[in-house]
Chain A
């Protein structure tokens, strides 16, 4: 095996590229997790967003409008989840699974009955999110391979990670949100409207999830297929657990999965069975998630026992 061909500069971009949809999904899950709501519906929100983006891009030819509508669609799905969970006492796992099912079935239904397509929705009329070409690094081979021709949303995700971090940890709103997650009773006593904060968290995560979908269908690829998220939403949730709902660590977790994904894609050309390659991101996600939670458990245990000694 030639390692020079294997681990080269383009692997960096390949990893980042396959990680971005997961990063958006993970951030979508992270916002609600900060308010102690496990967003199982990430997958469904993302899928709806992906479909809405392609449908709007196909009919209007505008990617800006497509992203906007995708985010709105995500907002609607999240809205159903929020009302069901907060107002009508639905179990968050049950409603999340319901949303995911609904998204898969409903996008399929719309695709067949409204657009008359089966399996894959692909058309030259679909306008993708533009890729940014930087002229002056064309001649520098390394930079050209790593940084050139990123989709706009791929650049934006970096800004967005830090924006999320700033909002969650440096603003009053973020503090309130985290307070609601840590100890709702205390937050209520301090005069924070807990219910309103929970609604806001879920709705904002819907916007982010819609963006995740739009990026998946218009930035990462340029089509929509049935169930195209393919558990990326759950990988995002796993990464969120791994990073403890902290945007930066969560994103780092996603990059690990992206790396595994793109290494797998390269292994395939060396004759490794495609099923094993496709399995790798899922397997690695489960293993990494388990290890991080187990180590967290022991870290907590040690912390607690040392506290007991002081008493």
Chain B
């Protein structure tokens, strides 16, 4: 069997097993799993509003899953996409509110550029710390998420507050058009799709993409080949951050129209989940992002229609990750699965370690 088929079967098995575990939980709380999952699917597709909401949820998930995956392909575990969304969104909101002296087309460009730049710079910090000083990027990015959250929260409660009851900024002067009212899906979805295709093309078809892949699979080899692995590593983090910033500006200009406190909570994490399930395969990311968007949208409906709380969906997604991360879990089905050597060091683990040659 070829590798792609095995990978797809593994993902499908993972999804089935996770849904079964979810069903067990539903049975435990005395509900009907088939009814609950049915309500979930209906809640994601039935009618213009619900399908539009699914698409609106899909937009940020697509970008954040690609953002996580591209960094992961170069060996960086960027948990910080969420912080980049927050700060990118804040930058975009600031520009769109205060720079109204610019003509409208320029204002759009400025807002997008600002958000992307801020996101990239925010991701540059953990990138440098990891590449040159071996500071765990998982740790720094996740703590910097909290820092970013509180910075934006401070801004919309203080200097940038609109003075209304909710902590939010004033309305922005430019918007991305929403085309499936009353849902909040907007033309940002096309931007997201085009950018994602661009990134995927860049990754597989350009020399730069080759560099990213080489650094990700073997940084020492790439150093010997004349590719500066540290530089590429940092750049991959910055690409990831830029995509995070882009997510932020699309959410602010397209969905909300103002900077809302906590608007991006869990957007970055859910994108990361989508990417983790498919092991950061860029081509598979959009598909999983769509599955997660269905789950997110349907969860609310499921909670309303049946007695199953929507946190069940989060639980099921988390179980996805746990099963999906186990490389060799379903190998007994394929027989040809490679085991590990006797002391439990897997080639993959060795690859991730970036150690100084002493």
Contacts and interface: CB of A to CB of B under 8 A. Distances in A.
B16 interface: no
Contacts of A279: 146-147, 150-151, 154
A184 B139 contact: no
Interface residues of B, number: 56
A231 B311 contact: no
B343 A286 contact: no
B273 interface: yes
Contacts of A191: none
A88 B326 contact: yes
B276 interface: yes
A91 B324 CA distance: 10
B322 A98 contact: yes
Given A88-B329, A97-B79, A275-B154, A286 B322 contact: no
Contacts of B308: 113
Contact residues on A (Cβ < 8 Å of other chain), bracket: 35 or more
Interface stretch (B171-179, B205-213, B214-222, B344-352): B344-352
Interface string B321-345: 1100111110000000000101111
A interface secondary structure, majority: helix
Contacts of B354: none
A68 B153 CA distance: 39
B275 to A, nearest CB: 10
Interface in A97-136: 97-99, 101-102, 104-106, 108-109, 112-114
29 contacts: A80-B322, A88-B329, A89-B326, A89-B327, A90-B325, A90-B326, A90-B327, A93-B138, A95-B321, A95-B325, A101-B273, A101-B318, A101-B321, A102-B318, A105-B311, A105-B317, A106-B311, A106-B318, A108-B309, A109-B311, A184-B345, A194-B344, A198-B344, A241-B135, A275-B151, A282-B144, A289-B140, A297-B133, A300-B356
Interface of A: 38, 40, 80, 84, 86, 88-99, 101-102, 104-106, 108-109, 112-114, 184-185, 188, 194-195, 198, 231, 234-235, 237-238, 241, 273, 275-276, 278-279, 282-283, 285-286, 289-290, 293-294, 296-297, 300, 304
